[in-house]
Structure 1
Amino acid sequence: MRVFLLPISTQRTLLYCQKLQALPMHKQTLVDRITHRAAKLWTDWERRERGWQKQVATYGNHLLRRIPYEEWGLKSVPPLSTKRRAEEILGKDENHLIFPQTLIPTTKATHVLRTLGTEREALHRTRLTWCLIGMPISAPFALVPVIPNLPFFYLAYRAWSHWRALAGGKHIRFLCDNNILSLSPSSVLDSIYSPRLPSPLASKAPKVEKVASPPSDDPNESEEKLLLSQEKGHELVKALEIPELEIELERAIWQVETAMRKDMEPKSKSPETARAK
C-alpha cells in the first residue's frame, strides 16, 4: 500500500492510504463485505429522485462531510490482521510513505506519520464508548413503523467509524515501530506545492512537520497559511492518478478553510476594530 502525507495548511496534514490491490469478494473479511453492501445501498438511496431514502441520503451526506478529515484518513488505512502483520514483517507487502520533501523533510516524515496515526486515539476510544452506550438506548425507536431506526443506525455507523480509525492508527504505529516503511519523497507533489508556498516559508518549508507541535512564540511563524486550494487539490489528484482521493481532499480542504475562517473571527472583532467602527 501507499501512504500519503498531504499538507493542507502549514499546520494541518491529511493522511491517506491507497490500497494497491483490491481483494476479490470471496477473500474479503466480513466487515469489508458489510461495508461494501452498505455503500451500495447508500448509493442507491442517493440516486432516488424523491422519498424518505433520498432525504436521508441528502442529510446524511451533509453530516458525513463534517466528520473530521483526520478520521477519514485513518479509516483509509486497512486494519492490521494477523496475516498482514506477518507479510509486512517478512517484506512480502511493500509499504511506501509518499510526501512532498519541500514541506516535510525525509528525516521527519515518519515522525509526522506516527503523530497523525496516534494523536486522536484517546478521542476515538471515548467516542466509540459513548456510541456503544447510546445504541441500546436508541433501540426502542425501532418500534416506529415505516421509518427505520435512524438514531440507532447513525450511532452504529459512528461506532464502526471510530473503531476503523483506531484500527488504522494501530496499523500506522506498527509500521513506524518496526521501521518497515519505504520513504519515497515525491517530485510530483513538490511540483504541486512549490508554487503555493507562502514566501515566508520558502526558505524554511519544513515547518509543516510541526503538525502536532505547540504553536511558536513568534506570531509570524505561528500564523497558519493554506497550502492547497480546491483547484490545486484537483490538480494534485490528477497528477497522482488517484480518483478516489478527490473526495478526501475536497472535504479536508473545506474543513481546514472553515476552521481557519473561524480562527480569524476573534481577530476581526478585536477592541481596536470595534473602536474603528
Structure 2
Amino acid sequence: MRARLVVFPVRGRNWCFGRSIEPCVGGAASGNTPSTLKCLWKKISNSNSGSNNVELVVDFVSNKMNNAWMGLEKAPEGSLKNKIHGLGLKLLAGVKPSEIFLKSISKDITAVDIAYPSSLKARLVRRRLRHIAIRGVAIHKKYFYGSVSLLPLTTAFTVLPLPNVPFFWVLFRAYSHWRALQGSEKLLKLVSDNSYTQNSHEPETDDSKHIIHSTQVSPWVLRPSKELEEFIRRGSEDNGLSEQAFSDICRTFCLNMNDVSKFRNTM
C-alpha cells in the first residue's frame, strides 16, 4: 500500500509531519483479528511464525482496548465511566505529535509519496524524515520496555473496588510505544533506499534541487508542492504558522487537524 506523507516547517527547526487520511480499509484487517481468547489461541496454534503470533496478541489487546474506550465514551454524563473517559482525554492530550505520526506508519505500507514545500531541498526533507525515524526507534524502544516493566506493579491496584486505571493506562502506553517503534522502523526502511544512497555523492545542481526518486522499485517519491509553499508563505507569522495556514493545509492535504495542530502547540 502507498501512503502520502506531508512534511513542512512550522518555525525554524521545528517541522510538522503528517499522513494523509485515507478511506477506511480496516474492515478486512479487523476481520482477521481474533475476537475471543479461544479464537486467539487457535490462530496462534496454527501459526508457525513467532512475529505473527506477537502481532495477533497485540491486535487482540488493541481491539479489546478500543471496545472498552468506546464504551466509556458512550457512558452517561456524570457517571464514573464518563469521568474516567474525561481523565483519559486529558492524558491523551499529553501524547507527543511525533508519536502519533509514527503510529500512522502501519506495517502494510510499502511505499510513500512525500509532499513538501517547493522551496526546500529534497535531501533536507528526506534527512528530516530519517532523523525522526531514527530518534523514534531509540525513544519508543526505551519507553516500551519501561511501560512493560511497570505492568506487574500496576496490577496491585486490582484490590481496589474501582477500575484499575493505572494498569490500563500503562498497558495502552506500552501498546502505543510498540506501534510507534514499529512505525519508526518501517519509515526508516522506506526512506533508506540503497539505490539512492549510491548516487547521493553526485554534486547537486539547480535541476536536481528537487529529487524525485521515480524508479519502479523505489519505496519513496519526493514531490515538491507549490500549493503547500504558498500556504506557508501566506500564513507565516513571528511565532510560526498561523492557525488558518494549518487549517488550509489540513483541508487540502487531508490531514487530521487535531493531530497536526499539536506540532504547532508544542513549539
TM-score w.r.t. the length of structure 1 is 0.69
Partner of 1:134: 150
2:248 matches 1:232:
no
Deviation of 1:36 (Å): 5.3
Structure 1 residues 230 and 34: CA distance shift in structure 2, 3 A:
farther
Equivalent residue, structure 2, for 1:117: 133
Measured against aligned partners, the alpha-carbon deviations of 1:102-160 in whole angstroms (never above 9, x if no partner) come to 2x312322111111111232222221111111101111211222x22111111111111
Instruction: Work out the CA distance in 1 between the residues paired with 2:62 and 2:112.
Output: 24
Deviation, 1:98, is 1.1
Find the counterpart in structure 2 of residue 202 from structure 1: none
**Aligned letter for 1:185?**
P
- Aligned equivalent of 1:249, options 233, 247, 260: 260
Note if contact 2:62-2:175 (Cα within 8 Å) is conserved in structure 1.
Answer: no
In structure 2, what is the equivalent of residue 67 of structure 1?
95
The count of aligned residue pairs is 215
Aligned partner of 1:105 in structure 2 is: 121
SS of the residue corresponding to residue 77 of structure 1 reads coil
Distance 1:239 1:119, change over 3 A: same
Q: Which 4+ runs in 1 deviate beyond 6 A?
A: none
* 1:42 and 2:81 aligned: no
Contact 1:16/1:77 (8 A) holds in 2? no
29-38 vs 106-115, which deviates more?
29-38
Q: 1:149 aligns with which of 164, 174, 178?
A: 164
1-side partners of 2:73 and 2:139: how far apart? 31
Measure the CA separation in 2 of the matches of 1:25 and 1:142.
34
Using the TM superposition, give the Cα deviation of residue 34 of structure 1 relative to its aligned residue in structure 2, in angstroms.
Answer: 5.1
- Per-residue CA deviation, residues 14-50 of structure 1 (Å, 9 max, x unaligned), is 2222364533423346445654553454344234312
Q: Distance in 2 between matches of 1:33 and 1:228?
A: 40
In structure 2, distance between residues paired with 1:43 and 1:99 = 36
Task: Quote the Cα distance in structure 1 between the aligned partners of 2:26 and 2:254.
Answer: 22
Indicate conservation of the 8 Å contact 1:7/1:13, yes or no. Answer: yes
Q: Check whether the contact 2:236–2:242 (CA below 8 A) recurs between aligned residues.
A: no
- Are 1:177 and 2:205 counterparts? no
Is the alpha carbon distance of 1:8 and 1:43 closer, same or farther for their aligned partners in structure 2, counting shifts above 3 Å? farther
CA distance in 2, matches of 1:52, 1:251: 29
CA distance in 2, matches of 1:187, 1:72: 26
**2:54 matched to which residue of 1?**
none
Give the secondary-structure state (helix, strand or coil) at the position aligned to 1:7: strand
CA deviations 1:58-86 (Å, max 9, x no partner) are: 1211111111111111111113x6xx6xx
**Per-residue displacement from partner, 1:175-206 (whole Å, max 9, x unpaired)?**
112252011112221121012346xxxxxxxx
Does the Cα contact within 8 Å between 2:20 and 2:254 map onto a contact in 1? no
**Letter aligned with residue 254 of structure 1:** N
SS at match of 2:105: coil
Q: Does the CA-based 8 Å contact 1:117-1:170 persist in structure 2?
A: yes
1:6 equivalent to 2:19? Answer no
Identity within the alignment, %: 20
Q: Quick check: 1:121–1:166 contact (8 Å CA) kept in 2?
A: yes
SS class of match (1:8): strand
Q: Quick one: distance in 2 between partners of 1:135 and 1:184?
A: 44
Q: 1:231 and 1:129 mapped to 2: Cα distance?
A: 40
One-letter identity of the residue aligned with 1:136: P
Corresponding letter in the other structure for 1:25: G
Question: What is the distance in 1 between the residues matched to 2:252 and 2:59?
Answer: 29
TM-score for both structures, normalised by structure 2: 0.72
Structure 1 unaligned spans of 5+: 89-93, 199-224, 257-277
